[in-house]
């Protein structure tokens, strides 16, 4: 499950940690703190590893620098075998669900080096999570097993999220992942990465989880590039301050993903430019517009001037809203995570903003045309070819089930 060179050691809080003893070179810093270049391929900033309350790595343990580290809870999800209310569905199929692990699995399947950081129970569901996520090529050696807290599970209906037909029943209170904190998370494993991907879901799990996210997003030398998907889930917030907390965390990130609908519901902001103006600190703000596609606001330092000609620190370059291809939807779950993964994959490759948006749409189409929360991403050469289509061809592109692995003429016949 955890690969060669790993073994489990007990932790003082009842958990056991998977420790790597691979040796290897020095741990390198990330892409920089908030306000830096925003280039996931850039060199580490001066100052070395930051000082933090986060738990240090064990002596002699060196974490390899990953392309992406995704931190957050994953749960065993039970999907209905047929449509209907939870009260009426007779049976369910087991799967894995978690925004951060979904992103991790898709990026690893596309060839990126990815580490997932979380906590799971010392139970069969924890075994299933680790086995399944590791099978996608994700490094799970920084995931402790908690002997006192269970792995979270949830049940959901087949209806699309946000509709009256959608029901979800979470059994995650007191879960192993809710015990994540700056004390229990391996700081070296988290920060040894080009991009650290977080979501607002983790902040809602517990007070220690929220403090952990605040610690990880705090500007400091050597901080990796932080990607933050707002993922506003009102039902997870016991207190009424969820919207304020999510805005605070988003402003501390380098790359932000937020839906126009959730920005309206959480922050009362309407229109993509209003969202971007409310988030002046991040290097990149991606506003998802539903069927209208997505728009990215990129800030380039040292290129703006006030009306009187005085130079300002940075300017905002707005990309053209990029509409998604036409998709025959099988299941809507996981599309937002897939979009974020596709965008980050393109960012890691140094592609321009418009290509990042198109890759996000293509990866989302992969999720939309497959059952469950997790789908295989399209092959890189195919995604590159489709993302390079001219506007007319892109506008007529149609994708249906099987398009990511079927080399046949499905999308060719529908693409001029």
- What is the domain-level CATH number for residue 168? 3.40.1190.20
Per-residue pLDDT at 18 = 41
Answer for the pair 313, 280: CB distance below 8 angstroms, yes or no: no
The residues, any chain, with a CB within 8 Å of residue 55's CB and separated by 6 or more, are 182, 183, 184, 185, 186, 187
Token duo for residue 52: 């933090």
Question: Quick check: 156 pLDDT over 50?
Answer: yes
- Averaged pLDDT for residues 399-405: 83
- Highest-pLDDT range among 17-31, 312-326, 344-358: 344-358
Q: Is residue 193 part of a domain?
A: yes
Q: Is residue 219 part of a domain?
A: yes
Question: Quick check: 186 pLDDT over 50?
Answer: yes
| Residues 379, 110: Cα–Cα separation, whole Å | 7
Which pLDDT tens digit goes with each residue over 239-294?
Answer: 778 899 999 999 999 999 999 999 999 999 999 999 999 999 999 999 999 888 99
Q: Of 291, 287, 321, 317, give the one whose Cα is nearest residue 304.
A: 317
39 CB-contact burial (10 Å; exposed 0-12 / middle 13-18 / buried 19+) = middle
Q: Is residue 408 part of a domain?
A: no
Q: Of 336, 325, 328, give the one whose Cα is nearest residue 374.
A: 336
Average pLDDT, the chain: 80
Token duo for residue 163: 């509709």
CA distances from 100 to 262, 325, 366 (A): 18, 25, 17
Question: What's the alpha-carbon Rg for the chain, to the nearest Å?
Answer: 21
Q: Of 67, 66, 69, give the one whose Cα is nearest residue 54.
A: 69
Examine the residue annotation and report whether 337 is marked as an active-site residue of this protein: yes
Q: Is residue 198 part of a domain?
A: yes
| Annotated catalytic residue within 146, 186, 337, 373 | 337
Q: Of 101, 110, 93, give the one whose Cα is nearest residue 383.
A: 110
Q: Is residue 185 part of a domain?
A: yes
Answer for the pair 37, 21: CB distance below 8 angstroms, yes or no: no
- Highest-pLDDT range among 39-48, 226-235, 314-323: 226-235
Residue 71's pLDDT band, with cuts at 50, 70 and 90, is: very high
Token duo for residue 346: 């393109």
- Counting Cα atoms < 13 Å in the Cβ hemisphere of 358 gives 22
Q: In a 3-state reduction of DSSP, which class is residue 163?
A: coil
Question: Quick check: 327 pLDDT over 90?
Answer: no
| Residues 126, 122: Cα–Cα separation, whole Å | 6
Q: Of 5, 9, 10, 44, give the one whose Cα is nearest residue 23.
A: 5
Beta-carbon neighbour count of residue 409 at 10 Å?
9
Q: Is residue 411 part of a domain?
A: no
Q: Is residue 412 part of a domain?
A: no
Question: Quick check: 321 pLDDT over 80?
Answer: yes
| Residues 13, 15: Cα–Cα separation, whole Å | 6
CA angle 169–173–178, rounded 5-degree value: 125
Beta-carbon neighbour count of residue 382 at 10 Å?
16
Range of the domain at 96: 6-399
28 CB-contact burial (10 Å; exposed 0-12 / middle 13-18 / buried 19+) = middle
Q: Of 391, 327, 396, 316, give the one whose Cα is nearest residue 362.
A: 327
Per-residue pLDDT at 311 = 37
Q: Of 364, 351, 381, give the one whose Cα is nearest residue 257.
A: 364
Q: Is residue 213 part of a domain?
A: yes
Per-residue pLDDT at 305 = 38
Q: Of 134, 95, 141, 137, give the one whose Cα is nearest residue 118.
A: 141
Which pLDDT tens digit goes with each residue over 198-208?
Answer: 999 999 999 99
> Structurally, how many domains does the chain consist of?
1
User: Where would I find the H helices in 98-240?
Assistant: 99-109, 124-135, 187-191, 200-203, 207-217
Per-residue pLDDT at 253 = 97
Spacing of C-alpha 133 from chain mean position = 14
Q: Of 169, 168, 223, 206, give the one whose Cα is nearest residue 54.
A: 223
| Residues 126, 224: Cα–Cα separation, whole Å | 28
Q: Of 136, 133, 74, give the one whose Cα is nearest residue 111.
A: 136
* β-bridge pairing 75-80 and 92-97: antiparallel
């Amino acid at each position: 499950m955890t690969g060669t060179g790993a073994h489990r050691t007990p932790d003082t809080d009842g958990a056991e940690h998977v420790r790597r003893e691979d040796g290897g070179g020095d741990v390198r810093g990330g892409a920089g703190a908030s306000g830096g270049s925003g280039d996931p391929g850039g060199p580490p900033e001066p100052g070395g590893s930051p000082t933090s309350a986060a738990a240090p790595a064990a002596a002699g343990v060196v974490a390899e620098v990953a392309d992406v580290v995704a931190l957050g809870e994953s749960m065993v999800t039970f999907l209905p075998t047929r449509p209907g209310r939870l009260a009426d569905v007779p049976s369910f199929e087991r799967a894995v669900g978690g925004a951060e692990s979904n992103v991790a699995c898709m990026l690893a399947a596309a060839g990126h080096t990815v580490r997932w950081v979380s906590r799971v129970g010392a139970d069969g569901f924890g075994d299933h999570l680790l086995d399944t996520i590791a099978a996608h090529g994700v490094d799970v050696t920084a995931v402790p097993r908690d002997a006192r807290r269970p792995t979270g599970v949830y049940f959901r209906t087949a209806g699309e999220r946000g509709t009256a037909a959608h029901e979800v029943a979470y059994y995650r209170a007191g879960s192993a992942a809710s015990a994540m904190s700056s004390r229990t998370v391996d700081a070296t494993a988290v920060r040894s990465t080009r991009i650290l991907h977080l979501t607002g879901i983790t902040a809602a799990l517990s007070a220690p989880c929220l403090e952990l996210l605040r610690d990880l997003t705090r500007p400091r030398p050597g901080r990796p590039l932080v990607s933050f998907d707002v993922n506003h889930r009102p039902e997870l917030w016991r207190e009424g301050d969820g919207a304020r907390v999510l805005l605070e965390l988003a402003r501390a990130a380098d790359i932000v993903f937020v839906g126009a609908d959730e920005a309206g519901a959480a922050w009362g902001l309407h229109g993509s430019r209003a969202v971007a103006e409310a988030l002046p600190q991040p290097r990149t703000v991606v506003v998802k517009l539903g069927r209208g596609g997505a728009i990215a606001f990129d800030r380039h330092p040292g290129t703006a001037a006030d009306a009187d000609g005085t130079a300002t620190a940075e300017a905002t370059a707005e990309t053209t809203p990029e509409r998604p291809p036409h998709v025959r939807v099988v299941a809507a779950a996981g599309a937002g995570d897939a979009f974020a993964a596709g965008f980050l994959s393109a960012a890691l490759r140094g592609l321009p903003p418009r290509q990042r948006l198109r890759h996000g749409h293509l990866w989302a189409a992969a999720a939309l045309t497959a059952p469950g929360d997790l789908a295989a991403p399209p092959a890189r050469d195919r995604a590159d070819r489709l993302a390079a289509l001219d506007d007319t061809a892109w506008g007529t592109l149609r994708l249906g089930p099987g398009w990511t692995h079927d080399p046949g003429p499905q999308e060719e016949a529908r693409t001029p």
